[in-house]
Amino acid sequence: MVEFLRFRDDVPHEEPAVTLDAFLGQTNATAVRLESDEDARKLLPQLGQLALIEIAFPKFRDGRGYSAARILREAGYEGELRAAGDVLVDQIPLMRRCGFDSFVPEAAIDPAALERALGRYDDVYQKAADGRSPVWALRHG
Amino acid sequence: MYKYDQYDQAIVDARVEEFRDQVQRRLAGEISEDQFKPLRLMNGLYLQLHAYMLRVAIPYGTLDSRQMRMLAHIARKYDKDYGHFTTRQNLQYNWIKLEDAADILADLASVEMHAIQTSGNCIRNISSDQFAGAAADEVTDPRPWAELLRQWSTFHPEFSYLPRKFKIAVIAAEEDRAAVKLHDIGLQIHRNDAGELGFRVFVGGGMGRTPMVAPVIREFLPTADFVSYMEACLRVYNRYGRRDNIYKARIKILVHEIGAEEYARQVEEEWAHVKTLGLDPPAGEFERIAAHFAPPAFEGGLSDDLDRTDPDFALWLDQNVKAHKQPGYAIVNISLKPVSGIPGDASSAQIDLMADLAERYSFDELRVTHAQNIVLPHVKKADLYTIWQQLEANGLATPNLDLISDIIACPGLDYCSLANARSIPVAQKIADRFAGLDRQRDLGELKLKISGCINACGHHHAGHIGILGVDRKGTENYQLLLGGSGAEDASLGRITGPGFDEDGVVDAIERTVEKYRELRTEGERFLDTYRRVGMDPFKEAIYG
Ligand code: HEM
Ligand code: SF4
């Protein structure tokens, strides 16, 4: 069972994440944590200085973080994007598509189940933040 | 009709295996019921009072005979030999075992069907006009757009954990046969002054405990911007829809609280950004899909004459058969509302028979309607008599389309764990009371809709006459509503006053319609009379 998953090759970022308020109030932090009701767009002016953005999932039903992640990726953020909290195996493939590349699930995850979930679909129907070509592009490639 | 290519098939097949895996993890105790629930819901598996219910998607209500026969096969093999056609043009099985669910999905996948996103807080099966491709009043066939939406919304990575379920309907006619204004998003395809096709976008309709008729947020959305604009609509909702209270989580509450104009402004702002991401499929993809919906090879030069000498046939013709855009053809409505029946239920044998008729006489196509009936969309007039005889012999020729006994009813307390009251027996009592066809026909178009609780699955808010089951000090009680409509003149019904017991509500309906007969002017439907005279005369007749 794994408690931390990371789909990046660079060195993990060590600095603790600060709250959004703290981040907006100070200029030099490089890691921030967004609660699910906080507006990801507030980070856009200072995206360049960030190496880690952690997005909270207080309940797996709370899907706001999926939009937050895409907004950050669409704005060009390339640092680590972490989903933390009530993150379940069956959600990780969707989260990956939205741009998350690291995970700190509350309950440890069975790596075999995760591997099955991640490899399940060869193709996807829509463009998202993971660069995969949707089937409409493959059909008209 | 749309046919899967290798991509569509691979995705649906992978889904079956994914669900098999999820069920196995649940049965092995690796995941809790709480964690399993959203997973099974996204596959249409609900826990009802007595068993699991499986809801099968029938995208935009269109299916062919092979698919219809598979529905019969599943009913026979895994359920109690019948299925229930729903107000969202889907089909439900009421007695499913969890252990069988993945096998059922595999059977469905073998005929290009699935149960994906038929429940859960995601974008649900897209509904549409049951007369699409056959109606004279449509500007185009809306279903290719619905199919485009089906693909876009399937496993959408951002919109699978919305605040609440999300229902979209698409039509392309002035007459609204799909209740678009009572959907989270309703889309009406129309032409602008330049003759181009685009969408009128309604957002924030819905039923439930806070019913609302959707306002228009965009009068004309060009087709090239369709997908990116939907993406923007959903993103604003996903970010700002309420999550603190399940009863306030539907998009209608967001649109109501911030106002349609402000919601539209936020969508436009989001869309200005989203449009730059290249999310809209190329025109060629739409054309590929649309080619599947090309009109069938209608014969030209057919006569419109009909032999009406059999009076029962003539009655059915006048009530259940509608005009087709092609001369010599007609649209056949098969009523699933026989007297004493359960609205929307059909036996496996009946489902098979309807499949046979579609294959032989309707270019292999069937439709499910939101009024829980079935349609054979493209029938030669010359075949109508033969079809009627076969329907008649199988209890499927009740000539009551849009009459008082053509009732929409939710499953209610007979099946549903949320119910306050039974719906089905009330529907049966009303149908019995008004069984005389002359009387029904004299009353004319009268849409009666029954829900067993405030969730409004039976569309009671949109009934010309609506019935709502409530719990009154532990006994089943029924409120009566008048004046709703789910059509282009959408409106919400108003409660008449204190509720009734089961027989009392049937009596109250009788007094209501008798009052209507007294007040109506030539050609006036019940709804028109109600709108002209208001609630008071009816109230007086009911409570006296
Ligand atoms: C196990 C059985 C069912 C359960 C637990 C259930 C639950 C619900 C709930 C909770 C709502 C209210 C949603 C809201 O306001 O946010 C609702 C609405 C609705 N349901 Fe069901 N339902 C069931 C069966 C059905 C069936 C059989 C149909 C079709 C015949 C159906 C069609 C609808 C429709 C059309 C709505 C109204 C949509 C709207 O609020 O805009 N449901 N259902
Ligand atoms: S309206 Fe209520 S009783 Fe009827 S099916 Fe929906 S939740 Fe159940």
B412 pocket-lining for ligand 2 (C-beta < 6 Å): yes
Q: Which CATH superfamily is domain B408-543 in?
A: Sulfite Reductase Hemoprotein, domain 1 (3.30.413.10)
Q: SS in 3 state form for B32-98?
A: CHHHHHHHHHCCCEEECCCCEEEEEECHHHEECHHHHHHHHHHHHHHCCCEEEECCCCCEEEEEECH
Is the distance from the beta carbon of residue B208 to the nearest atom of ligand 2 less than 6 Å?
Answer: no
B250 lines ligand 1 (CB under 6 A): yes
Name the DSSP letter for residue B212: B
Name the residue among B43, B40, B251, B66 with its Cα closest to residue B154.
Answer: B43
Of B407, B468, B394, the residue nearest B434 (C-alpha) = B407
Where chain B has pLDDT below 70, the residues are none
Whether the Cβ atoms of residue B238 and residue A64 lie closer than 8 Å to each other: yes
User: What pLDDT, on the 0 to 100 scale, is given for residue B544?
Assistant: 86
What pLDDT is recorded for position B80? 95
CA B61 to centroid of ligand 1, rounded, Å: 17
Domains and their CATH numbers in chain A: 5-140 (3.40.50)
If you measure CA to CA, which chain A residue comes closest to B156?
A126
Kindly identify the ligand whose nearest atom is closest to the C-alpha of B486.
Answer: 1
Contact A83, A103 (CB under 8 A): yes
User: Has residue A27 got a pLDDT over 80?
Assistant: no
Element (H, E) at A18: strand A18-19
Q: How far apart are CA B45 and CA B118, in angstroms?
A: 8
Amino acid occupying residue B24: Q
Report DSSP state, residue A2: B
Angle (nearest 5°) at CA B93 between B90 and B99: 125
- pLDDT tops 90 at residue A71: yes
- The residues on B that touch A, with CB distances below 8 Å, are 5, 7-8, 10-11, 14, 17-18, 21-22, 25, 30-31, 35, 38-39, 121, 151-152, 154-163, 227, 235, 238-239, 243, 273, 277-279, 281-282, 284-285, 288
Instruction: Supply the pTM of this predicted model.
Output: 0.95
Residue of A nearest to B244 (CA): A62
Distance CA A27, CA B79 (A): 64
Mutate to test the pocket of ligand 2, among B46, B209, B455 (most ligand atoms within 8 A of CB): B455
Instruction: Judge whether residue A141 has pLDDT over 90.
Output: no
The predicted pLDDT at position A48 comes to 94
CATH code of B142-290, in short, is: 3.30.413.10
DSSP code at position B372: S
Token reading at B52: 């699991």
CA A131 to chain centre: 14
Mutate to test the pocket of ligand 1, among B37, B457, B461 (most ligand atoms within 8 A of CB): B457
Q: B313-393 has which fold? A: Alpha-Beta Plaits (3.30.70)
State both tokens at B39: 């997973």
Nearest to B358 by CA among B366, B367, B350: B366
Which residues make beta-bridge pairs with B331? B322
Q: How far apart are CA B55 and CA B41, in angstroms?
A: 9
CA distance B229 to B220: 12
Q: Is the ipTM of this complex over 0.95?
A: yes
Would you say B282 and B225 are in contact if contact means Cβ atoms under 8 Å apart?
Answer: no
Which residue has tokens 């000090």? B473
Calculate ∠ Cα B182-B184-B187, nearest 5°: 80
Residue pair A54/A32 in contact by the 8 Å Cβ criterion: yes
Mean pLDDT of A21-27: 88
CB within 8 Å: B14 and A122: yes
Q: Does ligand 2 come within 6 angstroms of the Cβ of B416?
A: yes
CA dihedral B278, B283, B288, B292 (to 10 degrees): 120
Task: Report the SS3 class of residue B155.
Answer: coil
* Cβ–ligand 1 contact at B206 (below 6 Å): yes
Question: The dihedral of CA B279, A126, B178, B483: what is its sign?
Answer: negative
Q: How many Å apart are CA B182 and CA B458, to the nearest integer? A: 13
Distance from C-alpha of B365 to C-alpha of B63, rounded to nearest angstrom: 6
Half-sphere exposure of A26 (CA within 13 A, CB side): 12
Distance of CA A75 to the CA centre of its chain: 14
B253 token code pair: 């509450």
DSSP letter string, B244-283: S-GGG-SHHHHHHHH-HHHHHHHHHHHHHHHGGG--SPPH
Domain ranges for chain B: 142-290, 313-393, 408-543
Q: What is the pLDDT of residue A31?
A: 96
B466 in ligand 1 pocket by Cβ < 6 Å? no
* Distance from C-alpha of B518 to C-alpha of A110, rounded to nearest angstrom: 71
Q: Count H helices and E strands in chain A, helices first.
A: 5, 6
CB burial string B380-400: b at 16+ within 10 A, e below: bbbbbbebbebbeebbbbbbb
Q: Specify whether the backbone of B287 is left (phi greater than 0), alpha (psi in -120 to 50) or beta.
A: alpha
End-to-end alpha carbon distance in chain A: 40
Residue B488 burial class via C-beta count within 10 angstroms: exposed 0-12, middle 13-18, buried 19 and up: middle
Which among A64, A137, A138 has the least Cβ separation from residue B239?
Answer: A64
Instruction: List all residues 6 or more positions away from B287 whose beta carbon is below 8 Å from its beta carbon.
Output: none
Max intra-chain CA distance, chain B: 67
Angle at A26 between CA A24 and CA A28, to 5 degrees: 110
